[in-house]
Amino acid sequence: MPQQQLNVTTYMTDVRDCLRPAAFMEIAQEIATIGAKERHFDDTVTLEAAHAVWVLARMHVRFDRMPVRYQPITLKTWHKGVHSVFFLRDYQVLDPEGQVLVSATSSWVIMEIDQRRMLRPDGLAEIIPADPEHPGHAIESPAGKIVIPRALPLRKVADHPVRYSDVDSNHHVNNTRYTSWAMDCLPDELTFNHSLKEIEINFNREARPGETVGLLHACDGPVHYVEGRVGDNQVFICKLSF
């Protein structure tokens, strides 16, 4: 099981010296890459021959205690097998005493890069094992589909043109950027003064250079929803609980 020790640095933290949610997504993305490489199903070697890459489809994160600036932490991850069309991967962030600070589960698909189409897990059984690497769960249930309650009005708050800083080597917006976009759609008095307890996010369509993503917000008490659209197509949807 891959694990990494690091200190929470200044560039990872927000105005309250707490780990930014997007920074967790960034370090989770990096250790997921390491974990796939250790198991020999990473992008750069094993999948390259099939012109395929890993793409994050869903994620669910619980912040039990938000890590703070300069705090030493240990990040763990493990491949959790296959569920439906998804490959599952879990994560934990631990403090020096071994107490869990952050728990997360993610669902991934493999995309054929030329046709931008998803490859089914049963066609990849020789490359990626269906059995879990570790029997435990950070979050037991796989990340679910997010639906905004119909009674909640959605209000458009911004248009975000896809720019250089958003795009990764797959030539689409990197998954970590959507969390930053979503947090920026919320009221300052909320995000500047309160810690996020939970975030769930579905990535439903690529956003690519030259496109503009419309950002919409809905609120249900301490629960906020942010949706991104290109035209009538939903790019992502995010549920944030404070």
The tens digit of pLDDT for each residue in 40-80 reads 787 666 677 667 888 899 999 999 999 999 999 999 999 99
User: What is the DSSP code string of 154-188?
Assistant: PEEEEEEE--GGGB-TTSSB-HHHHHHHHHHTS-H
Tell whether the model's pLDDT for residue 100 goes beyond 90.
yes
Query: Please, are residues 2 and 76 in contact by the beta-carbon 8 Å criterion?
Result: yes
Ranges for all domains in the chain classified under CATH 3.10.129.10: 3-124, 155-241
Question: Among 81, 71, 69, 67, which residue's Cα sits nearest to residue 24?
Answer: 67
102 three-state secondary structure: strand
3-124 CATH fold: Thiol Ester Dehydrase; Chain A (3.10.129)
Query: Please, are residues 57 and 86 in contact by the beta-carbon 8 Å criterion?
Result: yes
In angstroms, how far is the first alpha carbon of the chain from the final one? 31
Q: What is the pLDDT of residue 173?
A: 97
**CATH superfamily label, 155-241:** Hotdog Thioesterase (3.10.129.10)
Tell whether the model's pLDDT for residue 127 goes beyond 80.
no
pTM exceeding the 0.75 threshold for the entire prediction:
yes
